[in-house]
Chain A
């Protein structure tokens, strides 16, 4: 998996490096031919927005006896979708940025519930829905992309995680001992990732996007995301955190 990701990144770098040379200049519509990359036309950059997608396997079975999650839902890959918004409060232009970010996602697991008698499966679906959220400090290093031909921006995130979860059986919420099967979990999260800027693919379009929409940079990212939502080790809630990769589209605005 890691090899294929590295291969993809290297391939993308090769494509970007082989981009044809173009005439450069500035006309009434702004910079073109690459000059726009050198700071001629740049709108103010304040936030980063990410559309996130990736697998999600909650670590529910950690900290309990047995493996209720794997027993009920199996080991099939479940997916999450989400978004994140980072406010780049502290920023040294073309070097780095630092600021808080808030992200959320959603994932859902479902499977037929087994009969209590052990005689097989029922026709009713039992589900577990999770809405993980995180509030992090996001550090982004832009120097490489802004000062070298390598369009990569490594980044790191560290902060708090919080997740709402709920379970159902059929069309009803499940209950045990008259307590509803829903709750909240919290803990910490961290992530390491890299964003591949797409601006060099079409510098003119990137400049126009900045001039008309205020989008400074657009890129594809991939990150390793780790969340431990066990109450900072107190095991007070359901551990619905995960260790997984997340990919998506990032915009700096």
Chain B
């Protein structure tokens, strides 16, 4: 029976092997055609293909394809090394473009009124390296810019930002003005588009005031919105550089403490990094497409585009509520309740202390160190005002504050923890902030104050009462030896009893 089964199985196995071999041969031929015929595009999703800047603002465990608010604020550029394969003849009339959006491998998604993708980068022929600013990757999807080939309506100028204190209002006006100019100029017609400089050229003066969207394939269709950028510095995020035009008030005290470099031409404004944009992770896909001057893919090519999915989160979680600080020894005991709108990726709470841990002294405390009260009357009456010169409620803590004033952290499931190590007798202003899984830090909670003091714990009370115990689990080695010996003897006694009982049972069984 078994032999019959084997006999009948062998021809089937042979047939299957032959079929598999045929498929493999066919598959190999297809791959060969691709490599030598139509060009193809590849992107390694590792540090070779995608090069990120690592620094103090970017924790090393932030994944390659994750962007946080700090990446955006600092205007990080991501370098992509794309591999274009194919003969020179096959690739000579094509170049790389980078798009974000939905189904960007479809030509209709990239051009026309129904376009759902946003261009974030273009390079010339044979160029395999592309640098894309994070601000463009996380910015709003915009299809400003118009018609196919002939250039369309200029982009709508961005709305000027809300001015900060003082000169910020002027910045808003500037934004509107520039935007309007851009729109009316309508660079589409005169934009050189892909005929020469791939959209970079034309009259792309952007911040000079002649902004507005260029032709369809201009990679910098966002220039129409940069007019707004010029005036948005007062919205809560300041730029390091002087902005074009009148700009916002770069030193506004009403800002949230974050600062970053100004966006260059073709880069989304820094306002896209604002906390209010999104506080939970979002997903997008970046497409690298190999197309000709008309946006068409190489004929017959199947791997003419590469996709790179990424995630971003631009906002830290809300601050915990009702933060209080109780007295502890070398620490303050923090208690709070979780904010009702805490995002799902809330990771941990951090404690902020002023003066920083290790700083201050009882003498300074007596002089009123640790808060605004230090400048008041020098009596140490910090509790009356309880403010910190380092951080303020509602602000997002700056990198400097995070590097200097953090005095502990706990997991997000906690509702209590200790801030420390602190000096007893020094009055501290303490607050909390939340941090999400993208390492974004949210605004600061209410600030409260208290002074660590010496306490009497149980072991101290026991020792003061003359107790001899303690010093470690192994501090009574001689005694431990006795105990172990006794345990060993008891075990041996048990075994002897067991053996005797068995022997007794065997004799009874024999009899």
A interface list, Cβ under 8 A from B: 60, 63-69, 71-73, 87, 89-91, 98-100, 109, 113-117, 122-124, 126-128, 135, 137, 159-160, 162, 164-165, 167-171, 174-177, 179-186, 231, 235-239
Residue on B with the closest CB to A162? B483
Which 5 pairs, one residue from A and one from B, show the smallest C-beta to C-beta distance?
A123-B326, A238-B469, A181-B459, A123-B333, A68-B461
Contact A183-B476, Cβ < 8 Å, known A115-B454, A137-B490:
yes
The contact of A72 among B332, B417, B454, B461, by CB within 8 Å, is B461
Contact A115 B453 (CB under 8 A): yes
Question: Which of A160, A165, A239 contacts B487, CB < 8 Å?
Answer: A160
Interface of B, secondary structure class, is mixed
Which residues does chain A contribute within 8 Å of B417, judged by CB atoms? 171
Nearest-neighbour CB distance to chain B for A78, whole angstroms, equals: 13
Report the stretch among B65-73, B283-291, B349-357, B494-502 that lies at the interface: B494-502
Q: Looking at the complex, which one of A87, A117, A127, A180 makes contact with B454 (CB distance below 8 Å)? A: A117
B467 and A68 contact, CB distance less than 8 A: yes
CB nearest to A68 among chain B residues: B461
The residue of chain B having its C-beta at the shortest distance from the C-beta of A60 within the complex is B462
Asked whether any CB of chain A lies closer than 8 Å to the CB of B480, the reply is: yes
Interface of chain B residues 452 through 485 with chain A (CB within 8 A): 453-476, 479-480, 483
Tell me how far the C-beta of B423 lies from the nearest C-beta in chain A, rounded to whole angstroms: 15
With a CB–CB cut-off of 8 A, which chain A residues contact B471?
179-180, 183
Question: Which chain A residues border B333 with CB–CB below 8 Å?
Answer: 122-124, 170
**Total number of residue pairs linking A and B with CB closer than 8 Å:** 173
- B473 contacts A176, CB within 8 Å? no
Q: What is the chain A residue whose CB lies nearest that of B495?
A: A89
Return 23 A-B CB contacts under 8 Å, by A number. Answer: A63-B467, A64-B462, A67-B465, A68-B458, A100-B494, A113-B456, A113-B457, A114-B455, A115-B454, A116-B455, A123-B333, A124-B333, A124-B455, A126-B459, A159-B490, A167-B459, A169-B329, A174-B457, A174-B458, A174-B459, A184-B475, A184-B476, A184-B480
**Choice from B326, B468, B476 contacting A235 with Cβ under 8 Å:** B468
**A residues within 8 A CB of B494?**
87, 89, 99-100
Q: Once the chains are docked, how many angstroms separate the CA of A91 from the CA of B504?
A: 12
Max chain A Cβ within 10 angstroms of own Cβ: one of B454, B465, B475, B486: B465
Task: State the CA gap A42–B486 with chains docked (Å).
Answer: 35
Q: Which of B323-377 contact A (CB under 8 A)?
A: 326-329, 331-333, 335
Most chain A CB inside 10 Å of its own CB: which residue of B462, B475, B480 = B462
Provide the bound-state CA to CA distance between A66 and B463, in Å.
11
Shortest Cβ distance from B240 into chain A, in angstroms?
40
CB-CB contacts of B400-438 with A at 8 A, as 1s and 0s?
A: 000000000000000001100000000000000000000
Chain B residue numbers with a CB within 8 Å of A115 are 327, 453-456
Asked if residues B498 and A90 are in contact (CB atoms below 8 Å), the reply is: yes
Interface size, chain B (Cβ < 8 Å): 45
Q: A115-B327, A184-B473 are in contact. List 7 more A-B contacts (CB 8 A).
A: A64-B466, A68-B462, A87-B494, A109-B458, A123-B327, A124-B331, A127-B458
Contact B476 A114 (CB under 8 A): no
Residues facing A in B303-340 (CB within 8 A) are: 326-329, 331-333, 335
- Check B491 for interface membership: any CB of A closer than 8 A: yes
B486 touches A160 (CB 8 A): yes
Please state if B418 and A171 are interface contacts (CB–CB under 8 Å). Answer: yes
Closest to A126 in B: B457
A167 near B457: Cβ-Cβ < 8 Å: yes
* Bound Cα distance A177, B333 (Å): 24
Assess whether A164 is in contact with B473, with CB atoms less than 8 Å apart: yes
Task: Give B324 Cβ to nearest chain A Cβ, in Å.
Answer: 9
> Given that A183-B475, A236-B479 are contacting pairs, would A176 and B470 also be in contact in the complex, using a CB cutoff of 8 Å?
yes
Q: Are A114 and B456 in contact, CB atoms less than 8 angstroms apart?
A: yes
**Please, how many angstroms separate the alpha-carbon atoms of A116 and B332 in the complex?**
15
